[in-house]
Amino acid sequence: MKNYVIITDSSCNLTTEQKDKYGIAAIVPMHFYLDGKEYDASGDWSEISAVEYYDRIRDGAKVRSSQASSYSYEETFRKYLEQGFDVLSLSCAEALSSSVKESIAAAKRLEKDFPDAKIYCVDTYNCCYSLAMLVIEAAKRRDAGGTIDEVRDWVTEKRACFNEVGTVDKLTYLRNAGRVGGAAAFFGGVFSVKPIIVYDETGHNNAFEKVRGRRGSLERVADLIKEYADIDANRHICIAHANCLEDAKTLGEMVKERFAGKEIHFEYGFIEPGIGSAVGPGTIIVGFFGDPQMRTLGK
């Protein structure tokens, strides 16, 4: 069996330490612009601290993000192809980013130089910690002896089971980034109403429900995790936050209460800057493994 590497993009929220721990070959960076200055998006927050970043957005700084370029993918793929590896690239949902399209463009350019290599570029339907969980599980299956075709097929079969649910402090950022549609009008302008957001079948953000108050929104997120998570199949609950760790920890305690007696492994971290530019300060996003029917909520 020919060896292969797994590559993803920076929307996965993984740090370099986590990447190395699970044997992920590379994280291709997306980018963001804060008041006109360009930065690489990274779970390491190597160019700007997460606290400063979200404080500046809250204070009105102009921010936008851009996907990983096909040339960044080409450079990364080529590095491993030249070493004799095949490539399995697992990208952010196409519904949220052009990252997967850029990876496919890079793969096509490389076909003439590496005609015998396999370069698989997969739309994972995921982003943030749900993407991280999917990538980690794919790496575990590779390490257990799964071929590149077997792992790719497993990803496409199970990608809709890696769910996310969350709540934003304000829909303003998602609306400005073009990440929600008609729901913005439904929720907009209602004092203290917080939207509950899930992925749809292919990874679009779906603001499907409104809850009054921050505490109420956290309780509702915990209820949905209880309803849709399969803790026995995967005991990890990953909570990403946009500079609101106290609320994230409060949500973690709510989830513990709902799964009393179950062993759960919690991961907390800042929402990486590319995603953070779209969701804004105060957002909480929870990744977990469970029932794909969650993606039909609000349909």
Q: pLDDT tens across 237-269, in order?
A: 999 999 999 999 999 999 999 999 999 999 999
Q: How many whole angstroms separate alpha carbon 233 and alpha carbon 261? A: 15
pLDDT at 213 over 80: yes
pTM greater than 0.75: yes
- Which domains are present in the chain? 4-159 (3.40.50.10170), 161-296 (3.30.1180.10)
21 conformational bin, left if phi > 0, alpha if psi -120 to 50, beta if neither? alpha
Q: Is 183 exposed, middle or buried (0-12, 13-18, 19+ CB in 10 A)?
A: buried
Asked if pLDDT for residue 121 goes beyond 50, the answer is yes
Which residues lie closer than 8 Å to 286 by C-beta, 6 or more apart?
A: 129, 164, 165, 166, 221, 225, 237, 238, 239, 240, 251
Query: Is it the case that residue 177 has pLDDT exceeding 80?
Result: no
182 has pLDDT over 50: no
**pLDDT tens per residue, range 31-70:** 999 999 999 999 999 999 999 999 999 999 999 888 899 9
d(CA 239, CA 293): 21
> What residues are paired with 268 via a beta bridge?
239
Compute the C-alpha angle 24/200/221, nearest 5°: 85
Quick one: average pLDDT of 134-156? Answer: 98
DSSP 89-140: EEE--TTT-SHHHHHHHHHHHHTTT-TT--EEEEE-S--HHHHHHHHHHHHH
Whole-number Å distance between alpha carbons of 26 and 224 = 33
pLDDT given for residue 185 in this prediction: 45
Q: How confident is the model at residue 101 (pLDDT cuts 50, 70, 90)?
A: very high
